[in-house]
């Protein structure tokens, strides 16, 4: 080729657009292929995701009779996708309780969560030309269903002031009973009619209600108390003394009957410290009075002289409106006020630590089997724990025995053959004879002592002619003396009798208004920290108590300051608010 031809070829532009056109054509093919492959991918992804969503929703249903795994795999098989999923791709979490129906044990599911995670590959058609052989297609979905469950504690003031008249003209107790029964009807019978008592439409077993009456103390009743690890100085009453630190936590650990059968009461320290059974003692009567702990102890300070006040006892996990109305109707009014103790037990019966107690009461027939597993864990889906705290006044005083004065040797001796008492002074190693008013080296009854008397000895004719002469004899005191335990002593003597001796430490004390308010603040904070919802009702209370109760409530709007008939409106409003919480759950 000559230089002229080479130069001409270099300058010739014919056919240049063909090269550009080929390049554009290849890019158009690539773009079109990308669109086709993406369309195929998206079509497949939507098909898989829709199938997965429908499958897990059906599998999570609590009414589904088939196993969750079987349901999901069947959905995919019927959609023509059985080859892309296996049981290993599923996660299934379930909760249930077992019930006996017609002699057969059946599993009733209360919670089910079904999830599926797939990591699929969709092969490409056109993008293979760009060395892309597949698209990764992750797909996941989950569904859950949980029974909407509510646990409620009605903590009700039954102190003496509740017997006084309210602004309505009726007694405060009457207004409380009327309002509380309407609350129960709304919660357990008909949410639209507080006066409906027969044609109940609320499904039984979804809502449990504890009734916790409180005055100076809270009585648990023998059965409920038996599942808690308490000291065992006596069996006369069923209330517990809590100290300041006890109000910083909600739970009170309960144990099974077999734990106590195998280990005794209280349980060994490996189980934790026991709670203190309230002493059976008389803190009210004078030093020379016969003690009446059956009428004046903190557990029974209604002065009735009976220790069988069943109306005071806690009703745990009530199931029907009828049984709860019966309990509320039985309430009376007497005694001091301990809002902190009412709140402590109301909260403890919603804490999961009480589960062994409720299981035991189900076994004994005192709680319905629908409530097996309650109180549920705080993290359980669908659970709402609610406390309704009501008072008509303020904390007053609460008598108690100081630590160390419930059991063990008292240092007080009673003669075996007479009603003579001796008190030991450990600091000086001597005994004070309470009836003789003298100090000796032994308690009366364990030896002999010199007993002297003065007589006139006449020496003349006239009446004034005499001398006083002392004559002494050793007198045997009897057949011994017995040192009483503190438990035995409080049946014989009041705490005022014991506390009169200056060389002894006082056995009895009382928590005052300020201490009990601090306890109430502490337990309210602990309860709210666990996620419980607190409603509070101040029934014709003072401004200072108004603030205390408002601070206890979960929100300012959850506190109701009411008078007279308004208490029914407050309970009804709380019932409606609880229903809203259940729907949100």
What pLDDT digit, counting tens, does each position of 548-559 carry?
Answer: 999 999 999 999
293-317 pLDDT, tens per residue?
988 999 876 544 455 578 999 999 9
- The DSSP code for 549 is H
Residue 304: in which H helix or E strand, if any? none
pTM for the full predicted model: 0.78
Domains, the chain, ordered by start: 46-146 (no CATH), 149-402+510-584 (3.40.50.410), 409-506 (no CATH)
**Residue 564 pLDDT:** 78
Residues 6 or more apart from 57 whose CB is under 8 A from it? 143
**Residue 305 pLDDT:** 46
- The DSSP code for 540 is S
**Residue 451 pLDDT:** 76
**Residue 127 pLDDT:** 65
CA angle, corner 376, sides to 375 and 381, nearest 5?
150
Q: Using alpha carbons, select from 575, 558, 532 the residue that is nearest to residue 385.
A: 532
pLDDT along the chain (585 residues), means of 10: 64 60 61 66 83 90 86 92 88 77 73 87 71 79 80 96 90 94 92 84 88 96 96 94 97 96 93 95 94 89 58 95 96 94 98 97 95 93 92 92 95 94 95 90 85 80 80 81 96 96 95 96 97 94 86 95 88 85 47
Residue that is written with structure tokens 């657009």 in the block: 17
**Residue 135 pLDDT:** 76
Residue 421: in which H helix or E strand, if any? strand 421-425
Residues 6 or more apart from 81 whose CB is under 8 A from it? 47, 48, 51
**Residue 584 pLDDT:** 43
Strand partners, 562: 539
């Amino acid at each position: 080729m000559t230089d002229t031809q080479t130069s001409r070829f270099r300058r010739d532009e014919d056919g240049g657009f063909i090269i550009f056109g080929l390049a554009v054509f290849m890019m158009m093919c690539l773009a079109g292929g990308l669109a086709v492959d993406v369309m195929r991918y998206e079509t497949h992804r939507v098909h898989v995701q829709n199938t997965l969503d429908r499958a897990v929703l059906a599998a999570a249903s609590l009414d589904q009779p088939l196993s969750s795994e079987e349901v999901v795999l069947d959905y995919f098989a019927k959609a023509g996708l059985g080859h892309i999923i296996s049981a290993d791709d599923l996660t299934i979490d379930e909760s249930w309780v077992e019930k006996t129906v017609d002699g057969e044990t059946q599993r009733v599911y209360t919670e089910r969560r079904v999830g599926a995670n797939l990591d699929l590959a969709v092969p490409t058609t056109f993008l293979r030309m760009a060395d892309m052989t597949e698209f990764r297609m992750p797909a996941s979905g989950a569904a859950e269903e949980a029974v909407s469950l509510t646990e409620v504690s009605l903590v009700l003031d039954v102190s003496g002031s509740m017997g006084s008249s309210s602004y309505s003209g009726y007694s405060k107790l009457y207004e409380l009973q009327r309002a509380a029964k309407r609350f129960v009807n709304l919660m357990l019978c008909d949410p639209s009619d507080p006066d409906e008592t027969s044609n109940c439409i609320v499904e039984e077993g979804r809502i449990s209600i504890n009734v916790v009456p409180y005055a100076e103390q809270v009585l648990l009743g023998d059965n409920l108390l038996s599942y808690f690890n308490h000291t065992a100085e006596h069996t006369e009453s069923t209330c517990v003394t809590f100290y300041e630190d006890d109000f910083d936590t909600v739970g009170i650990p309960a144990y099974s009957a077999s734990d106590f059968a195998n280990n005794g009461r209280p349980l060994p320290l490996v189980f934790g410290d026991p709670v203190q059974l309230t002493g059976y003692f008389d803190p009210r009567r004078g030093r020379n009075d016969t003690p009446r702990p059956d009428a004046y102890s903190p557990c029974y300070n209604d002065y009735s002289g009976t220790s069988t006040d069943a109306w005071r006892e806690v009703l745990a996990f009530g199931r029907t409106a009828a049984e709860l109305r019966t309990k509320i109707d039985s309430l009376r009014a007497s005694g001091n006020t301990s809002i902190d103790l009412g709140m402590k037990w109301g909260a403890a019966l919603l804490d999961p630590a009480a589960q062994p107690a409720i299981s035991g009461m189900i076994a004994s027939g005192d709680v319905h089997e629908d409530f097996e597993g309650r109180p549920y864990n705080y993290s359980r889906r669908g659970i709402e724990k609610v406390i309704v705290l009501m008072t008509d006044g303020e904390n007053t005083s609460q008598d108690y025995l100081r630590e160390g004065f419930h059991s063990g040797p008292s240092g007080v001796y009673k003669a075996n053959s007479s009603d003579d008492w001796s008190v030991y002074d450990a600091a000086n190693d001597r005994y004070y004879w309470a009836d003789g008013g003298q100090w000796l080296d032994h308690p009366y009854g364990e030896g002999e002592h010199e007993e002297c008397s003065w007589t006139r000895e006449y020496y003349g004719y006239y009446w004034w002619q005499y001398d006083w002469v002392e004559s002494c004899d050793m007198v045997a005191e009897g057949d011994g003396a017995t040192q009483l335990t503190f438990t035995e002593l409080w049946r014989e003597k009041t705490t005022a009798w014991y506390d009169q001796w200056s060389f002894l430490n006082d056995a009895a004390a009382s928590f005052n208004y300020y201490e009990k308010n601090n306890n109430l603040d502490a337990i309210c904070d602990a309860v709210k920290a666990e996620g419980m919802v607190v409603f509070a009702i101040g029934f014709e209370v003072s401004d200072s108590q108004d603030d205390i109760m408002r601070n206890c409530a979960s929100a300012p709007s959850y506190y109701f300051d009411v008078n007279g008939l308004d208490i029914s409106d407050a309970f009804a409003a709380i019932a409606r608010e609880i229903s809203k919480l259940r729907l949100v759950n």
